[in-house]
């Protein structure tokens, strides 16, 4: 049975309340002290295109992601002068599915990212995340409703200024529900994306 729209709206509201609560500290100085350890250090808007395969044909989605990063060095003062930037992040997302039918993916992922300077304004990064989501797709391969997204990816960031960057990235994503409900064949997707970041 297809997931009801009111359930999707309710889930989006819960995610929004949880995510927006840390933003009250944006105005503080980004020093490594106890007052700012929970404040975000990166906010990135990501738009991408993903494609995978299911029994009914191609599974295609538009990725609409908000990446909210927290510099781990704030919790480990010994890493304060490290050239690389390790971070913990949250990624709420609302992804329209455009094939085989019009559906939706909604949820949040929790992950770790490591970014390292390569040359001048160019940085490389790797990332991995997992998180609960809801999907409405109807397929013989995978039950709809509650599901987990497992994602790994890599990308490049080109800094336009000291506090802003353009990103190009690739992600490999697997979705399944750990056999909570059958069928649970999983859906793998290759995602190409572009993003714009602000750093605090």
Per-residue pLDDT at 121: 95
Domain 5-199: CATH class, spelled out: mainly beta
How far apart CA 193 and CA 182 sit, in angstroms, is 31
**Against a cut of 0.85, is the pTM above it?**
no
Q: Minimum mean pLDDT among 69-83, 91-105, 130-144: which range?
A: 69-83
Q: Where are the domains of the chain?
A: 5-199
Per-residue pLDDT at 7: 52
Nearest to 65 by CA among 176, 190, 194, 161: 194
**pLDDT (tens digit per residue) in 64-96:** 999 999 999 988 888 888 899 999 999 999 999
Task: Give residue 22's pLDDT band: very low, low, confident or very high (50, 70, 90).
Answer: very low
Per-residue pLDDT at 79: 86
How far apart CA 193 and CA 93 sit, in angstroms, is 13
How far apart CA 70 and CA 88 sit, in angstroms, is 5
* Radius of gyration in angstroms for the set of CA atoms belonging to the chain, rounded to a whole number: 18
**pLDDT (tens digit per residue) in 146-160:** 999 999 999 999 999
């Amino acid at each position: 049975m297809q997931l009801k729209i009111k359930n999707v709206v309710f889930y989006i509201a819960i995610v929004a309340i949880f995510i927006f609560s840390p933003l009250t500290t944006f105005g503080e100085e980004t020093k490594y002290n106890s007052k700012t350890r929970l404040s975000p250090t990166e906010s990135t808007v990501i738009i991408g295109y993903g494609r995978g395969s299911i029994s009914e044909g191609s599974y295609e989605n538009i990725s609409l992601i908000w990446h909210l990063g927290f510099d781990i060095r704030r919790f480990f003062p010994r890493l304060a002068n490290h050239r690389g930037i390790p971070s913990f992040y949250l990624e709420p997302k609302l992804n329209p599915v455009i094939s085989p039918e019009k559906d939706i993916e909604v949820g949040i992922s929790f992950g770790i990212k490591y970014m390292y300077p390569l040359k001048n304004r160019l940085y490389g990064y790797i990332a991995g995340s997992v998180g609960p989501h809801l999907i409405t797709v109807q397929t013989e391969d995978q039950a709809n409703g509650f599901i987990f997204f497992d994602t790994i990816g890599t990308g490049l960031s080109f800094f336009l200024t000291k506090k802003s960057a353009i990103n190009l990235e690739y992600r490999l994503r697997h979705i399944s529900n750990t056999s909570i409900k059958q069928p649970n064949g999983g859906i793998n997707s290759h995602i190409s994306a572009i993003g714009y970041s602000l750093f605090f």
